[in-house]
Structure 1
Amino acid sequence: MPKFLVQNLLLFFIFTSATAQEVQTEILPPYNIKTVTFVQGGTNVVPIFELGSSFEFQFDDLFGNEANYYYEVTHCDYNWKPTDIPKLDYIRGFDNQRIMDYSNSFNTLQVYSHYRLAFPNQFTTQIRLSGNYMLKILNEDRDVVFSRKFIVFENKATVSAQVKRSREVSNIAFKQNLDFSISSNDIAFQTPIQNVKVLLLQNGDFSTSMKNIVPQYTIGNELVYKYDKETQFWGGNEFLYFENKDIRAAANNVGKINSNSDIYSAYLHTNAARGSQIYTVYQDINGNFVVKNINGASNDIEADYAWVYFSLSAPAFRLNKDIYITGMFNNYSLSPEYKMDYNTERDVYEKAIMIKQGFTSYEYKVADRKGIIDYENAIDGNYYQTENEYTILVYYRQSSDRYQRVIGKGNASSVNIIN
């Protein structure tokens, strides 16, 4: 074999190996892809599923031209690098197939095609291993249009958790501390400092997750995490919301409706920054959303889209930072599509976002030009009383395993916060 050919092949394999080990990050959807969500039991959920359970992935394409989309599933390790596990080992069947379940909107001003990808389906009949997964949606040219993370766990460990107030006096009114322990009747933990890893989530927001926290100490086969600082989250405030289930009427937190354009416009009441106010209790759904048209029979295809106009009065936050509108409706994205603009004439921040009608909860986030969120100077403040949902995921890899299993999941709510 010629020398130059050997060198080229060597470079190819080195490049391929390096590319395969790149950290997988979520690719934001283009402007025509909306309402991207994982659904289980008819409800939008944080994408964490027990091994063997069924769920769906859904999204809308505002072009409404029944475009062909394909999907690809990639198994990843704790740090979201693709594993070297053969695909046939982690899925039964095959992927890279066309999404066949789609339908067009009915009786809506905004035309769109609604896509559903069920797991399992006729091609991918089973996800066989627990772990981190990246779901990629491809176009006909097999280019990635967008991608989303999801996690599959086994029920092999018990996680007991409790939300407590911060043990630091300076943050006792602003932060929440997560104490938890991990035990298992099925697994004898080997060198847990190295082999056991955890992922902590607040309200299903991966951008605020905590990781790489080792057990503080062990009691037999129980791993205990009772840190003062390492497992603290800023409390934040209750999510804001609006409701436009009847898209023609001004309902909860909608000031007026305008029908002069091609689709309806909903103008929300101006929000005032709540950081300097006292904490106020009211129920929310922790960033989630519900697609609903009270005048339709099938919400997936009969719910319409509207331009929703947000406005925020926050004169004290004229910082060299940006303000974004986020929630599960946009996967807590800090993309330019959700960055607010300052209106000097009205002295408020404004933004119009196209959102599918129903019930939508949202929050304002402050971030710098690099996308680093400023939690301490949150627009709506931080309060230890805020009701937040926490998720603890347990990863484990013993010496004989080929990959990091997700062996357990725990939940805790700050409704039951204690000192």
Structure 2
Amino acid sequence: MKKAVILSPLLICLVWPTLAQLVYEDRTYEETIRTVQFYAAANAQDTSFPPVIRPGETNLVIEFDDLQPDRQNYYVKVLPCTWDWQEGMLKDLDFMSEYNEFNITDYAFSSNTLIPYVHYRYQVPPPMIAGNYLLIVYRDGDRSNLILSRRFMVYNQMVNLVSDPVAGTATLRKTRQPLQFDISYNGIEVFNPLEYFHITIRQNQRWNNIREGVSPSFLRDDQSIIEFRAPDPDAHFAGGNEFRFVDFRSLNYPGMNVDRLDRSTKPPQLYVAYDKPRTDEAYAQYNDMNGGFVIANRDYAEPRITGQYVNVTFTLRPTQSLGKVYVVGAFNHWQISPESQMKPQPDGSLTMTTLLKQGFYNYQYVTAGANTPDWSVEGSHFETENVYEVMVYLKSLQPNTDLLVGYFVLPVNRR
């Protein structure tokens, strides 16, 4: 006589773990995946540049660490997207010159690190058609077993941009950075430019700080020019403030803004020098990385596999109630999440601890709110150095996609 076997809900969860749902944004789906870097191979000497390339120009490089000690079988695939980062209509054969699934075979085990990890690296062939794309990495050839996703862009420069000097009222200029520009689409036949062109503006490579579907102010159809002016102050970007930073490229001789380092723990525990709000402070000029980070190890060579992972604690001492406060930067993909939220302490301070690889990191404090950052901790100044990207998309029927026909970088207050 056969007996039925009933599995408890807990056992089912252990045997069949919940798989992540794909979102079309920069996202890490497993806690063991750390220090993701994604850049054009041509920019290997400076990985802070965004993953933006021309069709067939250069490969893209994806790098990451997995804190699991054993090598995993990971695959890479490229997905097409619309101008506003939804699922695209293109088929693999439309935009890839080879089979669109790549096994990551380039990996290395960490060397003499307190926390063992495996470092993975792969060069992905570039798509042949301009537009938005999402790179996904998954386990064992199973696309539902996701570990990370990253956005990137491929562009053909088919339009021109003329940027006017930053303008605005004296009051507006204290905190915001108005942008105004003209797009010339001479040579492109478009029946209804206002309907078929889409404009996105991004500040400092932050997908949570964009102006998407920017409405034009005026169309000069006879000259094939679209004007973009933003009379509404809320449409302008806040200048924000220069990013804070911490330097622990060396654990033997910790750098600036390290308060103390406890090497008796595993992993080591590093305390960043405490911070305070800057809303009432005058603007202070210094160079930053606009929120980026650099992996480096001044104690040993080959930082990709010798870099130590360190528990890093950030401390903010507020002078008033701020609500929910988060520590963000490129190191955590600017995510406002439970992991980046600061926790209150008995002495009135706020702290957040996260695991980071040896290096030099930019960061800032933001409060919960809309998608755009709230500067109630950092303050905002029109003098702040920022880099803006303007993306111009054209809806195309053949191929059936949103072509990225213009990509422009507009530095403000360049040093």
Normalising by structure 1, we get a TM-score of 0.86
Aligned to 2:329: 327
SS of residue paired to 2:413? helix
Aligned to 2:37: 37
1:163 shift after superposition: 5.8
1:64 shift after superposition: 2.6
8 Å CA contact 1:36–1:60 kept in 2: the answer is yes
Give the distance between the partners of 1:323 and 1:400, measured in 2 at CA: 46
Give the distance between the partners of 2:97 and 2:396, measured in 1 at CA: 24
Aligned to 2:109: 104
1:75 shift after superposition: 0.2
Q: Which amino acid aligns with 1:51?
A: P
Q: Which amino acid aligns with 2:34?
A: K
Give the distance between the partners of 2:32 and 2:184, measured in 1 at CA: 46
Counterparts of residues 56-75 of structure 1 (less than 5 Å): 56-75=61-80
8 Å CA contact 1:156–1:408 kept in 2: the answer is yes
8 Å CA contact 2:366–2:374 kept in 1: the answer is no
Question: What CA deviation, in whole Å up to 9, does each residue of 1:287-335 have, x standing for no partner?
Answer: 111111123332221222111111011132x24x321111111111112
Aligned to 1:365: 366
Counterparts of residues 8-407 of structure 1 (less than 5 Å): 24-40=24-40, 41-42=43-44, 43-44=46-47, 45-52=49-56, 53-120=58-125, 126-140=126-140, 141-142=142-143, 143-162=145-164, 164-167=166-169, 170-184=171-185, 186-219=187-220, 220-229=223-232, 231-316=235-320, 318-319=321-322, 321-344=323-346, 346-368=347-369, 372-373=370-371, 375-398=373-396, 400-407=398-405
1:391 shift after superposition: 0.4
Question: What CA deviation, in whole Å up to 9, does each residue of 1:88-118 have, x standing for no partner?
Answer: 1111112233211111112222211111121
Q: Which structure dedicates a bigger proportion of its chain to strand?
A: 1
Name whichever of 398-407 and 182-191 sits farther off: 182-191
1:399 shift after superposition: 5.4
8 Å CA contact 1:70–1:98 kept in 2: the answer is yes
Question: What CA deviation, in whole Å up to 9, does each residue of 1:21-76 have, x standing for no partner?
Answer: x9734443322111112133222232322222222011110113111111221101
8 Å CA contact 1:366–1:373 kept in 2: the answer is no
8 Å CA contact 1:159–1:409 kept in 2: the answer is no
Identity over aligned pairs, percent = 26
1:376 shift after superposition: 4.8
8 Å CA contact 2:33–2:147 kept in 1: the answer is no
SS of residue paired to 2:382? coil
Report the RMSD for the aligned CA atoms in angstroms: 2.1
Q: Which amino acid aligns with 1:198?
A: I
Name whichever of 135-144 and 251-260 sits farther off: 135-144
Give the 4+ runs in structure 1 shifted more than 6 A. Answer: none
Question: What CA deviation, in whole Å up to 9, does each residue of 1:169-224 have, x standing for no partner?
Answer: 55331111111222245524442100111110000000111111132223412222
1:231 shift after superposition: 4.3
Question: What CA deviation, in whole Å up to 9, does each residue of 1:133-182 have, x standing for no partner?
Answer: 11111112441222121111112222233562544x55331111111222
Note closer, same or farther for the CA distance 1:289–1:27 as it changes in structure 2 (3 Å cut): closer
8 Å CA contact 1:248–1:264 kept in 2: the answer is no
Q: Which amino acid aligns with 2:83?
A: Y
Give the distance between the partners of 1:289 and 1:385, measured in 2 at CA: 22
Give the distance between the partners of 1:301 and 1:189, measured in 2 at CA: 51
Note closer, same or farther for the CA distance 1:181–1:30 as it changes in structure 2 (3 Å cut): same
Aligned to 2:409: 411
Unpaired segments ≥5 residues, structure 2: 1-21
Question: What CA deviation, in whole Å up to 9, does each residue of 1:206-247 have, x standing for no partner?
Answer: 011111113222341222212222741011110000111112
1:119 shift after superposition: 2.0
Give the distance between the partners of 2:108 and 2:186, measured in 1 at CA: 46
Give the distance between the partners of 2:306 and 2:377, measured in 1 at CA: 35
SS of residue paired to 1:338? coil
Normalising by structure 2, we get a TM-score of 0.87
Q: Which amino acid aligns with 1:38?
A: F
Q: Which amino acid aligns with 1:238?
A: E
Count of residues in Structure 1 that have an aligned counterpart in Structure 2: 384
Note closer, same or farther for the CA distance 1:165–1:248 as it changes in structure 2 (3 Å cut): farther
Aligned to 1:14: none
